[in-house]
Amino acid sequence: MTIVPSPAEQAWLDQEDKNTAEIIRKHGVCIQFVLGEPGIPSPPFAYTVGLFGIGHPELLVIGTDQGTAGALLNDIADQVRDGRVLVPGELLTFEQWSHRVTVEEVPNPGEIAFAANRFYEKPDWCSVPLLQLTYDDKSGRFPWESGYANPDWIQPRPGAFQA
């Protein structure tokens, strides 16, 4: 079933497309940040739009504030634009951030990366690829390790999360 936007919705979407293109031209990527739903365990998340255009999967981080997400995604996106190719299982470290990050493939990107799919005119069933950047807790444990300090819904495993 195809949903046809109203003229007002279409005008808003056209403005969003223009804004996204301008940000990508100026900065290399646009960061799409989505707040969690109030009252239910739903983490905020952010992802890039723009890396697919240079042949790399888009990047996703779940459960951080907007500033942390933006800094992390922009830092790694800059590295990708400079030629770095991220691969699932890779472990990343940072001089300015105490956490480590592992790269994981997202099996259901069409349920998350709506803005990227819209920008690249990809249907959700044929989504742009997405890599989740999973960070460790303050004790250095990742979500799949015993003793991980955060609740599961803060940073769900790839495939268990949808927008």
* pLDDT reported for residue 150: 81
Instruction: Kindly tell me if the per-residue pLDDT of 95 is higher than 80.
Output: yes
> What's the pLDDT at 93?
95
Cα separation of 66 and 34, whole Å? 9
Q: Label the pairing between strands 30-34 and 45-49.
A: antiparallel
The fraction of the chain above a pLDDT of 70, given in percent, is 97
Mean pLDDT, the chain, whole residue set: 93
Q: Does the pLDDT value for residue 73 go beyond 80?
A: yes
Q: Compute the average pLDDT of residues 50-58.
A: 97
| Residue 2 clears pLDDT 70, i.e. is over it | no
- Above 80 in pLDDT, residue 36? no
For position 128, what pLDDT does the model report? 98
pLDDT band for position 1 (cuts 50, 70, 90)? low
* Residues 86 and 104: beta-carbon distance below 8 Å: no
Single-letter amino acid, residue 101: V
Kindly tell me if the per-residue pLDDT of 74 is higher than 70.
yes
Q: Are 51 and 123 in contact (CB under 8 A)?
A: no
CA angle 29/17/132 to nearest 5° reads 40
Using the predicted structure, report yes or no on whether residue 104 has a pLDDT greater than 80.
Answer: yes
Give the strands of the sheet with 45-49, arranged side by side: 30-34, 45-49, 58-62, 130-135, 101-105, 91-92
The distance in angstroms from the start CA to the end CA of the chain is 19
Strands 58-62 and 45-49: antiparallel
- pLDDT band at residue 49, thresholds of 50, 70 and 90? very high
Residue-level pLDDT at 145: 93
